Structure 1
Amino acid sequence: MITRVRPPRWVVDAAAVAVAVVDAIFGSVYLDNSELALAVIACAALVFRRRWPVAVFLLTLPSAMLNELVIAPAIALYTVGRQSRNRLVSIGCAVAAAAAGISWGLGEPLSRTDAVIYGVFTAAWAAAPVLFGQLVRTRDELSQRLVEIEEARDHERHLHAQAVLARERAQIGREMHDVVSHQVSLIAVRAGALQVAAPDTDTREAARTIRELSVTTLDELRNLVTLLRASGGRGTELTPQPTLADLHTLIDSSGIPVVFGGELPTEITGAAQRAVYRTVQEALTNVRKHAPGATAEIHLWSDAERFGVVVVNTPATRSALPLPGSGHGLLGLTERAELLNGQLLSGATAEGGFRVELRLPRT
């Protein structure tokens, strides 16, 4: 990224005043004392052009009308166009400068052609500084906007990285709880059984040691999983993950008339069972929120290559309460399905209801 090096403001202001003074000096040969005083006032006023741009322009206007000085009024017009947010003010100042210049020309004996040329030149002289000032202002605003956009993108990338890290931590926590914790618990149970049934003291002592180490490891593992989930953004209790066996309990507690049917292969993984459960759970939640009075149909299906679940609800029979909804539920289900190389389809039905379908590959 290329950074422009700008001179200090006082250098720019001093250069502007110097150029205006040079213009006034070359024109002072033809000026009387009163006109010379107006030229001095116009040049001196440029020192304050950034603070009071319109007032400074009005102070330079008499010199443009009587003395035909061009530099000081042009600098004042540029400042007005550069700093004024109201374009009508800039246009009004440009019109006033053009009128002042044309009024000076009316006192000179000019032919019609020369008068037209002089009028066009004066109008261009008045409009050009204002347009250039507006152009510079627009460029600076766009540059500032680009900086803000880049900062917003950096912030968005930072938030996205945090969200990815939170998901990874939550995923690690789930896997540790679902797999490692379960296996360590089995080791502790088997060691306890061996401690009771062992025929000799050495075996019982070894089983007791294994059981104690397993229990200690399990406690440390649970603390680590809790820490991972808390670092991911929120604390989550280590509750058992749902399976297909919990679907009936979920449906019975939903309070929605549901027609349930179909079956799934018995060999599907725990992650796939949780995906099916969460899909049904989210679909029934959306029915309660957005389609009060509706009924639902849940169908489990499978073929040679895929399996899944379809949840279809009828239209609402009464007005829904304005409950908040961000759409993150279906988005999370879509991400869960993609992690399992599957697909989640959702959309409105022709009858006015809603349909959600989860498709997962048989592996």
Structure 2
Amino acid sequence: MSRVVAAWRRIPAWLVDLLAVGVALLDALLYRSGDDPLTLGLCLVACAGLLVRRRFPLVAFVLTLPAALVATIIAAPIIALFTLAARSRRYWLLLTCGALFAAAEAIGWPLTSQFTSDQDHTAISFVYRLAAAAAPILLGQLVQTTADLRSRLTEIEASRQHERELYAQTVLARERNQLAREMHDVVSHQVSLIAAQAGALQVTASDPAAKEAASAIRSLASTTLEELRSMVMLLRAAGTRSPGLAPQPTVSDLEDLVTASGLAVTMEGSLPPDLGSARERAVYRTVQEALTNVRKHAPGSAVTVRQWSDERSVAVAIVNGCPTSTPLRLPSSHLGLLGLHERAELLGGTLVYGAEGDGFRVELHLPRMTK
């Protein structure tokens, strides 16, 4: 069953809509109650209305009611009613639409002849049609509930993943603290003894070569102690607050980043405050990496950082000109822009970069968060 559902979801939406229109047309041609132009026109309008059922489900259903009144068609109203039930949470609207469908099918046209000829048959037909309308409504609500459950399961899995990450960070912090204590209590103590013994040997030895060796050992031990103290402080700081939980830079920090860069940077435009933390970090890291590359490869060049946004996306572009001094020969892993490209793809955006005139351009585009 799951394979069938998965295969059905892979069918393009436009093909499903055309299939629905085809089924409705076949039903209208087989079971229409007359050949007059009005009946044929209303049936065609009902079938064509199914093309807008995804975006305007209520409009699509209303367009099928006149055809249901003048002709004995079932497919078009049932499909429209199912789509409305799958997208609407207003139960009173679904009940009203179901009753209208049943009344249109049971009463028929002209209205006066149905009310005066056989009212019992009309009432019984209305009950049957009302039961028939309940099927697409219940099925549509089932589809909607399934989608809600799937979304809820996704949220629960994301929450569990976050909890696992927090637990891993807690364990990592505990291990860092333990390692820091071991280094302080054991390794530092042993190195201190080495330094003390070397100092004593330097004082008591009569051989100049032995004195020089002892002095070198003592100097190396002292340097090692200083490095150990730095490592212990770093481990304790990391263990106290995991880097994953530390405050992350945002778009509001770009001014400080530009000021600290020491480059001639011109800021243009701005970004809205509701980007979300992941997008703000992506914008910040992109500007940071671009400015770093300018300092390394195009020192002295003028830089322009332009920010803009619209209803669907936000963007930032960093453009530098020709360098005015010799570029610095610094080691590079060539992975900075690649990492930014991967970060942009994870957020559903794009990162493009390349030469532009005498300089270089880096441009990031990210989709806006959906409400």
Matched position secondary structure for 1:69: coil
User: Corresponding residue for 1:4?
Assistant: 6
2:132 equivalent to 1:130? no
Select between 23-32 and 33-42 the one with higher mean Cα deviation.
Answer: 23-32
Aligned to 1:44: 48
For 1:218 and 1:123, the matched residues in 2 are separated by 86
- 1:18 corresponds in structure 2 to 22
- The aligned runs of 1:164-243 (5 Å cut-off) are 164-198=171-205, 201=208, 203-232=210-239, 234=241
Which secondary structure state, in structure 1, belongs to the residue aligned with residue 89 of structure 2?
coil
Cα displacement (A) at 1:192? 1.9
In structure 2, the CA distance between the partners of 1:108 and 1:211, relative to structure 1 (3 Å rule), is farther
Of 53, 56, 62, which aligns to 2:60? 56
1:172 is displaced (CA, Å) by 0.6
Question: Is 1:72 the equivalent of 2:79?
Answer: no
Q: What are the Cα deviations for residues 261-317 of structure 1, in whole angstroms up to 9, with x where unaligned? A: xxxxxxxxxxxxxxxxxxxxxxxxxxxxxxxxxxxxxxxxxxxxxxxxxxxxxxxxx
Which structure 2 residues correspond to residues 255-266 of structure 1 after superposition, within 5 A? none
Distance 1:143 1:17 in 2: 29
Seen in structure 2, the aligned counterparts of structure 1 residues 29 and 65 have a Cα distance that, compared at 3 Å, is: closer
Q: 1-side partners of 2:108 and 2:194: how far apart?
A: 104
What's the offset of the Cα at 1:91?
2.1
- Which is higher, the Rg of structure 1 or of structure 2? 1
Equivalent position of 1:85 in the other structure: 89
Give the corresponding residue for 1:121.
128
Distance 1:189 1:170 in 2: 27
User: SS of the residue aligned with 2:72?
Assistant: coil
Displacement after TM superposition at 1:95 (Å): 2.1
Instruction: State the 1:44 CA deviation.
Output: 1.2
Question: Bigger shift: 100-109 or 89-98?
Answer: 100-109
Equivalent residue runs for 1:302-321 within 5 Å = none
Shift of 1:56: 1.5
- 2:149 aligned residue: 142
Q: Distance in 1 between matches of 2:15 and 2:116?
A: 38
2:134 matched to 1:158? no
**In the comparison of the two structures, how many residue pairs are matched?**
234
Distance 1:24 1:49 in 2: 18
Q: Which runs of 5+ in 2 are unaligned?
A: 243-371
User: In 2, Cα distance between the equivalents of 1:220 and 1:70?
Assistant: 82
Quote the Cα distance in structure 1 between the aligned partners of 2:165 and 2:214: 49
User: What RMSD in Å do the two structures reach over aligned CA positions?
Assistant: 2.8
Instruction: Answer yes or no: is the 8 Å Cα contact 2:68–2:77 preserved in 1.
Output: yes
Indicate conservation of the 8 Å contact 2:57/2:84, yes or no: yes
Give the structure 1 partner of residue 247 of structure 2.
none
Contact 1:57 1:73 (C-alpha < 8 Å) held by counterparts:
yes
Q: C-alpha distance in 1, partners of 2:127/2:21?
A: 27
Q: Deviations over 1:132-166 (max 9, x none)?
A: 11111111121122223223322332332233223
Secondary structure at 1:30 match in 2 = coil
Question: Aligned partners of 1:234, 1:117: CA distance in 2, in Å?
Answer: 73
Most deviating of 198-207 and 173-182: 198-207
Partners of 2:94 and 2:137 within 8 A in 1: yes
Q: In the alignment, residue 57 of structure 1 is paired with which amino acid? A: F
Amino acid at match of 2:78: A
How far apart in 1 are the matches of 2:57 and 2:33? 29
Whether contact under 8 Å (1:31, 1:67) holds in the other structure is no
Classify the secondary structure of the residue corresponding to 1:51. coil
C-alpha distance in 2, partners of 1:116/1:102? 7
The residue matched to 1:85 in structure 2 has which SS? coil
* Change in CA separation of 1:126 and 1:234 when aligned onto 2, cut-off 3 Å: closer
Aligned pairs for 1:279-318 (under 5 A) are none
Q: What is the distance in 1 between the residues matched to 2:161 and 2:76?
A: 44
Give a deviation string over 1:159-194, Cα, whole Å, max 9, x none. 322332232122211211122112322332233234
Check the 8 A contact 1:57/1:76 in 2, yes or no: yes
Cα deviation for residue 71 of structure 1 reads 1.0
Shift of 1:116: 5.6
Distance 1:189 1:62 in 2: 102
**2:94 maps to 1:95:** no
Counterparts of 2:32 and 2:213 in 1: how far apart (Å)?
A: 112
2: distance between equivalents of 1:72 and 1:107? 25
